[in-house]
Structure 1
C-alpha cells in the first residue's frame, strides 16, 4: 500500500494535507513532516491545512507558519492526505468538500478509524501517526533532515505522553533515537512543549481545577472549560490542551472527562450549546468505545466526541457512565 500511495503522490500536481481540528502534537508533527517530505519528493503544489489555531507550545516547529487555517477552491487539488483522523469529519468544516477530491489518502493509527478514502495506511499498533509517516518517508527514499526529524520526534513524544502511555512501543524509542541522530535536541523540544506557560494559562488551570466534580463512586471526574473562563483569563481554546491530565490523575479515578464549550450551537434555547468532550482512562476502561457511542472515536486510553446539549444534561450523561462502567468498556 505504501508504494501505491507514494506513486499517487509522485504523480500529483496539487496535494492537500490536513489533520484533525484542535490538533495535538502528533497531528501537527505528522502534517509538517509529510509536507516537507512531499516537497522533496517533487510534488507540485503542497498545501498544509488545519482549521484550528496551532497551540502555542507547538509554534516552535519548523515550517509551522505554512499551515493554513482558511482554504478556498478545493477543486484544484487532485490528492488529499488526511492525517491522524479516525474519520474524515474530524478535519472539520471542509470535510464534505474534501470528499470531492479525486484521491484521498487516509493515514492514521486510531483503532476507531472508519477506513475512509481511496488509499488507507492505518496501523492501530503504531504509537503515533508520526510513526507511520516516518515509515512512509523511508519508503520514499528521502533523507530525513532536522526539520522533519523534529516534527516526527514531537509527534511521538507527545502522543506517548513522554513515553508514559500504553501505546509506547519499541518503535517509539528506536525512531526517536534516529531523529536525535538527525539533529533533534530533546531538551529544546521538551522546553517548548512542557517548559513554559503563559500567565493566562495558569489562571485558566486554576479555574479548571476548581470546576472538577467527582462521581459518587469516586471513579469518574469531570473538568469543565467554558468560553467565559477563556475570556476571563485572556486565553484561547488551545490553552486547554493537556488540562484533562490533572483530572485523570486523581486517586481512584478510572476515567476523566474534560467538557470544553465550543463556539456556535443551534440557539434553540439559551442553555443549549456545542461541546467537545475529551476522555482519558487510567487503563482499566476503553474510552474509545464510549466515544464511539456518541459519534466520536480515539484510542482505548484517550478519545473524544462532540455534541450539542445543555451543560447540565451533558454532565448527567457523563456521570451516568460511572455506574460501574459498562462491561464492554472494561479492559483486562
Structure 2
C-alpha cells in the first residue's frame, strides 16, 4: 500500500491533511510531519484540525499552520486523514472531506472502518506517527529536524513515554533515528510534561473532587463541566492527560473522563441534556474499544472514546454500571 500512496502523492499537487478532533500528540505530530514532508516536495498543503491545539504541543515546528476551518471553496486533489478510526472523527468537516477526489486513510486503531479510496491501517504500529515515518522514508525528501521532532513527539506521547502496551521495537528505533535527525528529547519532554499553568492545577483539583468509584472498585469516573473550565479560566486543551489520574488508582481496570462539550441550550433535544465526549482508559485487561463501539466511538483496546448526548446523571449511571454489566468487568476477582 505504501508504494501506491507514494505514487498518488507524486501524481497530485494540492493536498488537505486532517486529524481527529480533541487531538493528542500523535494526531498533531503525524499531521505536521506529513505536511512538512509534502511541502518539501513542493506540494500545496492545507493542514486541518477542528479543535484548539493543546498548549503542550504548541512548541512543535509549523504548528501555527494548522487551521480549524476549511473554506468550502477550497480546491484539493487529495485528502489524507490521519489517526481517525472513522471519517466522522475529523468533526464537522467530515462531509466535505469525504467528497475529495482521492481520500487516503492512514491509521493504527483496531476499530478503523477502512474508509477512503486508499486505506493503510496497521494495528500493530505503536502510533500513526510510526506509519508516517515509514511513508516519509519512501518519499524523495530528507527527514529534517522539524519532521523528526513531530514524529518523535507522536510516538513518545502515544506510547505514554514507552510505558503503554503498544510500545514496540519500532518505537525505540524510530525515536533513536529522530534524535539523530535533530529531535531534542529534553525539549520535547519539558513542553509535554514539564510545566502546567495555575489554571490547569485548579482544574485538576476540581476533576479529582469529581472522582467516583464503582462499588466493586474496578471503574472510576471523572467529570469536567463547562462550569469548571470557566471557574479555572482554562480551555478544553487543558484537559489533556487528566484521565491518567483516574486510571492509576489502585485496582481500577477502566477509567472514564466525562467532558461536557455544550450546555442544554446548545442544540440538545431534551431538558438538562448536553453534548459530552467520554474518554476511556484501561489497565490492559479490558477492551475499552469494544465499550466505545457500543456508543458509536472507537480507538485502541486500552484507550478509546465516544461522543454522546445525554444528561450527566444518566451518563454517569451508564458508565458506573459497566462494573456490573460488562462481562470483562463483572467477572472474576
The two structures have a TM-score, normalised by structure 2, of 0.96
Partner of residue 129, structure 2: 130
Q: Distance in 2 between matches of 1:319 and 1:152?
A: 37
Corresponding residue number in structure 2 for 1:7: 7
1:42-53 aligned at under 5 Å gives the runs 42-43=42-43, 45-53=44-52
Q: Residue 289 of structure 1 contacts residue 329 of structure 1 at CA under 8 Å; is this kept in 2?
A: no
Deviates more, 1:269-278 or 1:81-90: 269-278
Contact residue 61 and residue 150 of structure 1 kept, 8 A: yes
1:207-222 alignment runs, 5 A limit: 207-222=206-221
1:233 aligns with 2:232: yes
The equivalent of 2:160 in structure 1 is: 161
Q: Which residue of 1 aligns with 2:256?
A: 257
* Stretches of structure 1 lacking an aligned partner (at least 5 in a row): none
Count of residues in Structure 1 that have an aligned counterpart in Structure 2 = 330
Cα distance between partner residues in 2 of 1:259 and 1:46: 35
* Contact 1:204/1:230 (8 A) holds in 2: yes
4+ residue runs over 6 A deviation: none
2:319 equivalent in structure 1? 318
SS in structure 2 of the partner of residue 76 of structure 1: coil
Partners of 1:285 and 1:329 within 8 A in 2: no
Q: 1:75 Cα shift?
A: 5.3
Separation in 1, partners of 2:167, 2:146: 23
Contact 1:74 1:97 in 2 (8 A): no
- Which ranges in structure 2 are unaligned for 5 or more consecutive residues? none
**How far 1:88 moved relative to its partner?**
0.3
Equivalent residue for 1:21? 21
C-alpha distance after superposition, 1:52-89 (max 9, x if no partner): 00000000000000000111135511110000000000
Say whether the 8 Å CA contact 1:74–1:101 is kept in structure 2. no
In the alignment, the residues of structure 1 paired with residue 74 and residue 330 of structure 2 have an alpha-carbon distance, to the nearest angstrom, of 42
Contact 2:81 2:87 in 1 (8 A): yes
Residue 292 of structure 1 is matched in structure 2 by: 293
> RMSD between aligned alpha carbons?
1.5
8 Å CA contact 1:20–1:50 kept in 2: the answer is: yes
Query: How far apart are the structure 2 equivalents of 1:329 and 1:31?
Result: 39
Q: Is the 8 A contact 1:75 1:100 kept in 2?
A: no
- Return the TM-score normalized by structure 1: 0.97
